[in-house]
Every structure is written in C-alpha cells, then in structure tokens.
Structure 1
Amino acid sequence: MADWTTDYQEHLLPVFGTPARELDHGRGAWVYDVDGNRYLDFLAGIAVSALGHAHPALVRAISEQAARIIHVSNLFTSPSQIGLAEDLLRVAGNPENGRVFFANSGTEANEAAFKIARAHARQGGGTRILALEHAFHGRTLGALSVTWKHKLRERFEPLASEVEFIPATLDALDTIDDSVAAIFVEPVQGEAGVLPLPEGYLQKARELTTQANALLIVDEVQTGMGRTGSWFAFQQSGIMPDVFTLAKGLGGGVPIGATVTVGAASGILHAGDHGSTFGGNPLATTAGRTVINSIESEALLDNVRHQSQHLRDLLPTLRLVTGVRGMGLLLGVQLDKPVAADLVAAALEEGLIINAPDAQTIRLAPPLIIGEAEVQEFGERWTKATERLSA
C-alpha cells in the first residue's frame, strides 16, 4: 500500500500540515481509519457531525435528494431551501422580520455578516466595528478582519477594514456608543480555548447596541444547532441578536452556512449586494432540515444537557484535569501542565479523538447523540492516554 502521507504532501496545499490519520468510514460516535483501527470521536469534525457518522435519517435524506436534484443555482429556489429557512427562524423563536442567507461555511456566513456591518455603517450608523480579543470568525479577508490572532492576520494585512479589539469583559462594553456600527461576539470562544463570555455579557451588549443603533452580531458557528443544550447559545441569555451566523453542525457534515438577520437588519442588504452560487443548494438544505428534525425527534437537546453533566461530573476525577468550562457538549478541559498536544497524540494511539486549542486546554465537542456508554468509554481511553504519557 502506498504511503498516503507522501501522497498528501505531494498533492495538497500544505496549509494544514500532515493529517494524523486517513479515515475511511464511521458509525455513530465512532470512526475507522483505512487500516481498520477504531476511534471514539469526541471532536465530531470540530463540532460538525452533530448526528454522528452515517446517521440513518441523514444518509437516507441526502441519498434521496441526490437522486432528485443537487444544484439549481441562485436563479431558482427549492422546497428544501425555503423549508430550512422557515425551520431556522422557527427554532430561533420566529423573530420579527427574520431572514436567512445561505452560504457554504462559517467563514462565508461571517463574511456576509461583515458586509452587513459595513453597509450599516455606510447608511448612517456608526463607523467603528468592534470584535473581541481572542476572537476567531474565519479566514477570508472580511472574517479575518474580526479575527484577533495576529499570527493569522499578519501576512495578509492590510485587511478589509480596521477593527477595534476589546477585552471580553463587561466593563469593556462601555466603549459602545453611537460611533459603533457593530460588534461581533462568540458566546464561547472555541478556538481561544473554549472561553465562555462572562455572565450577563450578552444582555449588556444587547442593551448598549440597541441604544447606539449598532448591530449585535453573534457568531454561533461553533455553538449553534443544539451544541450548548439550546438551539443557539444566545437563547440562554434571553436576547435576540440583529444578526447571527451558523455552519458546522447545521448540515451534519454536509457543507452549509447561514446568516440570519432580524428586524431592521434584514433591510440592509439589497438585490445584488451579496450572493453564492452553491449556497442553499437542495442537497445541503435537505441535510439541514434533516438535522433539525432529528434533533427534535430524538430529543437531542435534552441529551446534550444530560451528557454534558455526566462529563462535568467525570472529568474532575481524571488525571491531569484541573477544571472544566464551556456549555453543553462544547467543553474546555484545563490541564495541570502544558501537555495538551502530547495528550492529543497519546489519546489517538488509544483510539480517542480530541483536540488542543492551546497548550493547556483540551477541547471536547462530541456528537450530540452520545450516550452514557460513550462517556464511560471516553473516561477509560483518557486514562490510558495519560498513562501512556507518563510511561
């Protein structure tokens, strides 16, 4: 058998480094590599495979849709595109004048949101655009403009716009006045180490942006679609953003993103201001509708809350763990020393897929379908991985 790592390095652009494994198939919360080794997937493709792998309803729905029609372009629509927009607005609480734009990824959804912020500034809003320190909103130029990490930005500057980064503190929100056009926030900063916003943050941000005629833009790319135990994390704060963005779990693995606008924000972009050839195609929107239906019919929001508590009870009993933070099934595990990368590698050898957003944090984002058996298995494999580290 040819060395797949050599083939990968010779034929793909080296923006990701060399992958850890060549995966072949999956079932439920498990994936298998080309050599038949089995791994418990506690990352779900970085919070993407909400229904796990090869979920029967999703396989059936996208297979049937592929046999009907896959693509229609933005010159036409389809029942599944309209239906998914209706579904998203329904689970968001049917906000006044809610509208949906479909894209293909989280960064594209945030790119649309960035254009909405810029257009709002041009039509009489403030001109300042705020984002948070440690924010990650994507890698296209607009989304990168509101991404904090200098290492990601420096080779591509000057970016699309000057953005002011403020600390994720309640006091820092006091900078919001009528000179501000918009503020971008993540309810949980996943790439920064799974850092939730302080209690009361979204409520204060909502109050101040409303007073200033500024847009509150909430990035739910990683936290949305049930991952936090509610459809969207902002719902746990009792607020409604002007704009929120989705991707990752929305298609259960099929690429799709969405930008949802509410109230006056739905009137900012006009015909021709934005678009996407593939966005909202019948295959992706059928997948999205199936994910929503499965979350509802299988009571997965309840399961997220239930299994999140099981993990929170289990994790403090495991080696290396000094703390747990996050929401639902998006958890950051604080380690007692900076060995996260080594632990990820050791865990993979023990058949467990986890992720290290920084040197002392492990990110867990398992499929929403996990049960008690998978949580117990996770604990056993974590223990073996830590023993391997100390051997």
Structure 2
Amino acid sequence: MRDLMARLHLMGERSGPLFVRGQGSWLWDAEGRAFLDFDQDQGANSFGHSPSLLLAALHRQAELLISPGRGQCSRGQLKLAAQLCQAVGSERVTFCSDARQAAALAVRLALHWASEQNPEADSLVLVEGNSFGPLPETVAGRVLKVSFNDLDALAAALDSRCAAVLIEPVQQAAGVVPATLEYLQGAQRLCREQGAVLILDEAGSGMGRCGTLLAEELYGVRADLLILGNGLAGGLPLAALLARGRIASQSDAELAPRFSGEALLAAAGVAVLNSVLEGSFLAQVREVAGHLREGLAHLARCHGHGPLRGHGLLVGLPLIGQSAATVQRAACEQGLLIGIARDDCLRLTPALTVSHGNVEEMLRRLGRALQSVENNHVEVA
C-alpha cells in the first residue's frame, strides 16, 4: 500500500508496473512479476539494467571523486575524451547531459562556423523525422525542413545560405527508417560541394547499436559534427558532440563541458566504450541481431506484418491493420516491454548484451501478444 500511495503521489495518473529491480534484460515489479525488456529506455541502457561493468566503474570512481564542480576537469573526463576521439576519428569532443543539448550545441557551432566562412550562411536544413523534436528557441537562424531519403529535395535546399544539414541516419520517430546508401552518400557530397556542415545525429544509432561503433560506418560517410546520446554511458545522463576536420578548430569556450557530475559519468563512459571496442563484442552484436531479425521477420510474416526496418539491434516492426499501442499493452500483459516508433510501428532496442535465449523468449511472448490482439479484434468484429 505504501508503494502504491507513493506512486500515485509522484506519478499522478500514470498506470502500469512499479519497477523495483533490474538485471540485464529483465525487470521486476513490486509484486514480483518479471518483465523482459526489449525497449531499454529506447536503447539508452546499452548494457541492460544494472550491468556489473557499470556498477564496478561507478563504485571505484565514487570512492575517489564524484564531481569536481561545473567547469572543472577530471582525469576520467580527459581519458574518455581521448579514447572517444581516437575511436571515432575526431579531433575535439564536448560532453553534455543529453542528446537534445548536444544537438542544439551542434547547430550553434555549425551556424557560427559557417557564418565566418560565408556571411550569407544563416540556414539550417533539418531533415524531417528526427527524434529529438523541435530545436530550442535559442538556436538562431533560418530552418528549412526537407523530406528524408529525398536527395533531390535536399539538393534544392542547399544554396549559398545553407550553413548546415542535420540528419538522423536511422529515423526512430518516423518508424525506424534507415537512410539509403545513395541518400546519405549524396548528402555528404552535396555538403562538401556547398561548404555546408554535415551533422549526423547518432544518439539512437551509435555506440554499437547498429552492429558497428557508428551507423555512418555502414554508409561509408564521415560527418563534420557527430551527436552521441545516453547510450555512451549505459543510460546515465551523458551525451557527446564530436567535431572533426575543418570545424574542430572552434574555440574552447564553445566546446566547454556542459554537464555536472563529470568524474562519475565519465567513468561510466570509459567502461562502456572499452567494452564496446573489446575483442569480438560488435561481432556478437551483429550475430544476435541476425537471430533477432530472422525470428521477427518470421513472426511478422505469420501475422501479416512487416517488413522489418533498421540496422542491427535497432529494429522497427511495421504493423498492418493494428495499433502499436494496442500491441504494446498486450505485450506488457505477457511480461514483455517493447517501444513504439509511431502509431503503426513497434520499436525493439534490446540491450547490446541480449542473449539468444532472451531473443527466443521475446519471440514467444510477442507472438502471444499478437495473437491476443487478433483474437480480440475478431471478437469485436
């Protein structure tokens, strides 16, 4: 009863399980029920719930230093910056609390840099379907929106006033739709020709999520500015903006750290990055992703849905004739947590450490959920 009253006080009218414990791909609620989590906070919990590597890193760092204070520097922050820049081939990095903050900083940096090269450059081309929502009002400049995977529309928008182009390589909010190879390579070419800054938002697709450290590797492109999200620190509030080449010479003031708790969060980032880069980790992600996608594709065909979208362990399952919210509720009743990319598309973003056994159990539970929705639909009809 005390747990229930606290939930009502803190969460208003929200309903659903009250979770009290997590381990890997599993969550347990206050009533002892186990839930298989294939959402993992939209993939931000890159190593699942309470991973031992993160707990150990946080414990070691907490005994030494949690935060030297805003604007100060810690050894862990320098270590993470050096390792991250080396891993992704960048010259500069700054850390933020979340991807939205990093995206706003990326746009400000790009507009400032481009205006110094060309006084007319005051426009941002924003490819529709991004996940972080509208840009803050503090971001000055003209914003032009163009359709995703439409190279002709992008080419028409890139004129002498274009300072930067912001693209999410795999658009989660639009239904986990990946860029085509022709589109992303073409976007890079157009930006180079026009002198515009190419910004890739990899908050959802980076840090191993697509089976490579970055999704851009799948396309053979290289962004000028790169955004990483909370997957960088296993779901803790740490994001990054990385600058390369011509734009990496921005002033120290523009690239100053913008989050507190530097030492503790940086230690988490180092632990996650080292694990992702270790040995065969990414190969294992690709292997289990193949298992997941094969099973989901079969399940989708059996129930008249699909085809699948996305890369690696960032998967979209389009639904035909059913609501994603309805299927999500039915899945929760089966002890399965999945995400929604849009009204007619499920999103699955399990931990990068998800096991083959977890995948098989997820397929069984999702299959029961889909069947339940179909049965209820028939009864209503």
Contact 1:256 1:280 (8 Å CA) reproduced: no
> Does structure 1 residue 63 correspond to structure 2 residue 63?
no
143, 147, 155: which one aligns with 1:167: 147
Partner in structure 2 of residue 202 of structure 1? 184
* Aligned equivalents of 2:55, 2:233: Cα separation in 1: 12
Partner in structure 2 of residue 265 of structure 1? 247
* Aligned equivalents of 1:41, 1:162: Cα separation in 2: 41
Closer, same or farther in 2 for the Cα pair 1:87/1:327, shift >3 Å?
Answer: same
Partner in structure 1 of residue 24 of structure 2? 28
129, 132, 147: which one aligns with 1:134: 129
For residue 331 of structure 1, give the secondary structure of its aligned residue in structure 2.
strand
Q: CA deviation at 1:21?
A: 2.4
Show CA shifts across 1:40-64 (max 9, x none). 1101111111111121111111011
165, 169, 193: which one aligns with 2:175: 193
Letter in 2 for 1:134: G
Q: CA deviation at 1:290?
A: 0.4
Contact 1:50 1:368 (8 Å CA) reproduced: yes
* Aligned equivalents of 2:178, 2:342: Cα separation in 1: 15
**Identity in percent:** 31
Partner in structure 2 of residue 99 of structure 1? 92
Q: CA deviation at 1:142?
A: 5.3
Letter in 2 for 1:127: D
Q: CA deviation at 1:386?
A: 1.6
Write the mapping of 1:358-369 to structure 2, written as runs, cut at 5 A: 358-369=342-353
Contact 2:289 2:312 (8 Å CA) reproduced: yes
Partner in structure 1 of residue 164 of structure 2? 182
Contact 1:307 1:371 (8 Å CA) reproduced: yes
For residue 245 of structure 1, give the secondary structure of its aligned residue in structure 2.
strand
Show CA shifts across 1:159-187 (max 9, x none). x5431001111222212233210000001
* Aligned equivalents of 2:233, 2:198: Cα separation in 1: 25
> Does structure 1 residue 302 correspond to structure 2 residue 297?
no
* Aligned equivalents of 2:113, 2:258: Cα separation in 1: 24
Q: What's the TM-score once normalised by structure 2's chain length?
A: 0.91
Structure 2's unaligned 5+ residue stretches are 377-381
Partner in structure 2 of residue 281 of structure 1? 262
Closer, same or farther in 2 for the Cα pair 1:279/1:293, shift >3 Å?
Answer: same
Closer, same or farther in 2 for the Cα pair 1:138/1:299, shift >3 Å?
Answer: farther
Tell me which moved more, 342-351 or 205-214: 205-214
Show CA shifts across 1:187-242 (max 9, x none). 10011210111222221111111111110000000001000011110111112111
* Aligned equivalents of 2:258, 2:225: Cα separation in 1: 22
> What's the Cα RMSD here?
2.1
Letter in 2 for 1:257: A
Show CA shifts across 1:310-360 (max 9, x none). 122111221342210101100100112132101000101101110112221
Contact 1:48 1:253 (8 Å CA) reproduced: yes
Closer, same or farther in 2 for the Cα pair 1:9/1:132, shift >3 Å?
Answer: farther
* Aligned equivalents of 1:58, 1:286: Cα separation in 2: 9
Partner in structure 1 of residue 73 of structure 2? 77
The number of equivalent residue pairs is 368
For residue 307 of structure 2, give the secondary structure of its aligned residue in structure 1.
strand
For residue 190 of structure 2, give the secondary structure of its aligned residue in structure 1.
helix
Contact 1:73 1:278 (8 Å CA) reproduced: no
> Does structure 1 residue 355 correspond to structure 2 residue 355?
no
Q: CA deviation at 1:261?
A: 0.4
* Aligned equivalents of 1:253, 1:271: Cα separation in 2: 27
Structure 1's unaligned 5+ residue stretches are 146-159
Partner in structure 2 of residue 239 of structure 1? 221
Contact 1:203 1:238 (8 Å CA) reproduced: yes
For residue 39 of structure 1, give the secondary structure of its aligned residue in structure 2.
strand
For residue 384 of structure 1, give the secondary structure of its aligned residue in structure 2.
helix
Contact 2:122 2:141 (8 Å CA) reproduced: no
Closer, same or farther in 2 for the Cα pair 1:50/1:207, shift >3 Å?
Answer: same
Closer, same or farther in 2 for the Cα pair 1:236/1:194, shift >3 Å?
Answer: same
Show CA shifts across 1:118-162 (max 9, x none). 21243233222101122233466159x7xxxxxxxxxxxxxx543
39, 43, 47: which one aligns with 1:43: 39
Contact 1:71 1:278 (8 Å CA) reproduced: no
Show CA shifts across 1:99-134 (max 9, x none). 000011111111110111221243233222101122
Contact 1:255 1:284 (8 Å CA) reproduced: yes
Q: What's the TM-score once normalised by structure 1's chain length?
A: 0.88
Contact 1:26 1:53 (8 Å CA) reproduced: yes
* Aligned equivalents of 2:279, 2:362: Cα separation in 1: 22
Partner in structure 2 of residue 149 of structure 1? none
Closer, same or farther in 2 for the Cα pair 1:110/1:361, shift >3 Å?
Answer: same
Letter in 1 for 2:339: N
Show CA shifts across 1:291-315 (max 9, x none). 0112233633112211221122111
> Does structure 1 residue 230 correspond to structure 2 residue 212?
yes
> Does structure 1 residue 86 correspond to structure 2 residue 82?
yes
Tell me which moved more, 377-386 or 273-282: 273-282
194, 212, 217: which one aligns with 2:194: 212
Closer, same or farther in 2 for the Cα pair 1:211/1:339, shift >3 Å?
Answer: same
